[in-house]
Amino acid sequence: MMYFEGKPPANQFLCRAYLCQGQLESPQSFGSVEEIEKAVIYFLKAIEISKVKPRYHFLVFNASVLYFQMVRPLLRSGPRQHLVPTLTQVVKALEEVGEQDYSWRAQLMMHLVECLVDAGKAKEAASFAKATSDFIESHIPDLYPKIFSLQVRHKLFDFTKTPQKTEASPVLSVIYKMQKLKQ
């Protein structure tokens, strides 16, 4: 608290202080969405400062990990709809700094797709699922079946437009048929 009272400059030490403050604000047990959002604000402040200078970009990744640990209890059907604004900011920040951990970015992007679906934003979810699919296909093809399954499960995908890709891959064909049976 004394550090914040001194009006510190916007540098990596302020970012680290925000990361610590966010962790201190975290509810000890699963709290309400409001309690978690109050703590998440500090992570977002750290991200905003860290994006500015390339030498602080590593703090964007660190903040994204702490953010994910904090909101993980909300990543289930129902409460995850409340994460759309903050998770969108985290995903955009990782993209802006060009984070090289593509697997991490893909994981957060897939969570954001599900958050958008839960929030009832079908068009945004379909659009972002397509962008996520393209990102995964070009950087981490091993994860493509996961995003494909997500697209089929939530009907974010027009199967009539790309049947060749699905028919050419036995794995994707099986995923599609299984998801259709579940529906």
H, E, C per residue of the chain? CHHHHCCCCCCHHHHHHHHHHHHHHCCCCCCCHHHHHHHHHHHHHHHHHHHHCHHHHHHHHHHHHHHHHHHHHHCCCCHHHHHHHHHHHHHHHHHHCCCCCHHHHHHHHHHHHHHHHHCCCHHHHHHHHHHHHHHHHHHCHHHHHHHHHHHHHCCCCCHHHCHHHHHHCHHHHHHHHHHHHHC
Q: Are residues 86 and 4 in the same domain?
A: yes
**123 and 172 assigned to the same domain:** yes
Residue 81 and residue 3 share a domain: yes
| Residues 112 and 94 grouped into a single domain | no
Query: 83 and 139: one domain?
Result: no
Same domain, residue pair 94 and 107? no
The domain boundary, picked from 66, 100, 134, lies at 100
Q: How many whole angstroms separate alpha carbon 167 and alpha carbon 100?
A: 32
Domain housing 155: 102-183
Residue 86 shares a structural domain with residue 108: no
Instruction: Pick the last residue of a domain from 100, 126, 146.
Output: 100
Model pTM greater than 0.95? no
Q: Considering its fold, how many domains does the chain have in total?
A: 2
Domain boundary among 63, 78, 100: 100
145-164 b/e (C-beta count within 10 Å ≥ 16 → b): ebbbbbbbbbebbeeeeeee
Q: Indicate whether 127 and 58 sit together in one domain.
A: no
Q: Are 109 and 132 in contact (CB under 8 A)?
A: yes
Same domain, 137 and 151: yes
72 and 139 in a single domain? The answer is no
**pLDDT values of the chain reduced to their tens digit, one per residue, 183 residues:** 888 888 899 999 999 999 999 999 888 776 678 888 889 999 999 999 999 999 999 999 999 999 999 999 889 888 899 999 999 999 999 999 999 999 999 999 999 999 999 999 999 999 999 999 999 999 999 999 999 889 888 888 766 655 566 666 777 777 777 777 676
pLDDT value at residue 143: 93
pLDDT at position 40 is: 95
